[in-house]
Amino acid sequence: EVQLVESGGGLVKPGGSLRLSCAASGFSFSGYSMNWVRRAPGKGLEWLSSISGGSGYIYSADSVKGRFTISRDNAKNSLFLQMNSLRADDTAVYYCARYSHGDHYWYFDLWGRGTLVTVSS
Amino acid sequence: QTVVTQEPSFSVSPGGTVTLTCGLSSGSVSTSYYPSWYQQTPGQAPRTLIYSTNTRSSGVPDRFSGSILGNKAALTITGAQADDESDYYCMLYMGGGIVVFGGGTKLTVL
């Protein structure tokens, strides 16, 4: 089955760190760029970061640059998000999502169910 | 900073037609932004509806359609059903691997 499964969420204190994981299955993981997207309570979807199949291209939203780092291990079909210096407004459900892109399209074609991160003292 | 705009909320009667829009704080949305649309109900993962302006994702019923209307991307739902009550997000590709979501539209079917 083609799927993405996130893990690693939980309760963390402000200023703390957390590492999220996303396990991919059912497709050729190394052939796809992957992303992290979040949705904070009462807010909309927010794209955070993307990484190309070979990790050669990494892009991040300004809101997380310098604090969050995306990475991947193609041998283990896994995507990661290292989150440092966490703040209360980082509280959200974090989704792993697969990019599908070509000459005339660029969109998310596969989503995980998400993992909840709560930043609170 | 580019802001992608959507109506915060919209209401439609069962069986009715509704068009949600996706604009830019500065400039016009064109097909070059590869507009895509996502549906999300509470507690669920987002579901991809439309990509590349007007291509339906696999399994999406044909009562969902995408287009460019004037200077905005648009998602039209024809024959709205109760389970269409969700949050809808558009997303635009800005180039350089960067995408931006709109703020989302909360659709009520009543």
User: Using an 8 Å Cβ cutoff, are A106 and A33 in contact?
Assistant: no
**Record: contact B52-A50, CB cut-off 8 A:** no
CB pairs under 8 A between A and B: 67
pLDDT of A54 reads 93
**Record: contact B36-A107, CB cut-off 8 A:** yes
**Other beta carbons within 10 Å of A55:** 15
How far apart, in whole angstroms, are the C-alpha atoms of residue A89 and residue B67? Answer: 34
pLDDT digits (tens, 9 = 90+) for A7-39: 999 999 999 999 999 999 999 999 999 999 999
Nearest to B51 among A57, A61, A107 (CB): A107
pLDDT of B13 reads 97
Nearest to B59 by CA among B74, B49, B45: B49
Chain B residues with CB-CB distance to A37 below 8 A: 46, 101
**Record: contact A45-B47, CB cut-off 8 A:** no
Amino acid letter, B53: T
pLDDT of B18 reads 98
pLDDT digits (tens, 9 = 90+) for A66-112: 999 999 999 999 999 999 999 999 999 999 999 988 888 889 999 99
Nearest to A49 by CA among A38, A24, B2: A38
Which two structure tokens, joined as six digits, stand for B51? 């990509």
Which two structure tokens, joined as six digits, stand for A10? 């939980």
pLDDT digits (tens, 9 = 90+) for B17-76: 999 999 999 999 999 999 999 999 988 999 999 999 999 999 999 999 999 999 999 999
Please, which residues bridge with residue B108 across strands? Answer: B11
Length of chain A: 121
User: Using an 8 Å Cβ cutoff, are A83 and A18 in contact?
Assistant: yes
Nearest to B70 by CA among B27, B100, B39: B27
pLDDT of B44 reads 93
pLDDT of A8 reads 98
* pLDDT above 80 for B1: no
**Record: contact B89-A45, CB cut-off 8 A:** yes
Which two structure tokens, joined as six digits, stand for B47? 């579901």
pLDDT of B35 reads 97
Using pLDDT thresholds of 50, 70 and 90, give the confidence band for residue B109.
very high
Using pLDDT thresholds of 50, 70 and 90, give the confidence band for residue A47.
very high
Chain B residues with CB-CB distance to A33 below 8 A: 97
The vertex-A89 CA angle with A84 and A90, nearest 5°, equals 40
Chain B residues with CB-CB distance to A105 below 8 A: 34, 51-52, 55
Min Cα separation A121/chain B (Å): 24
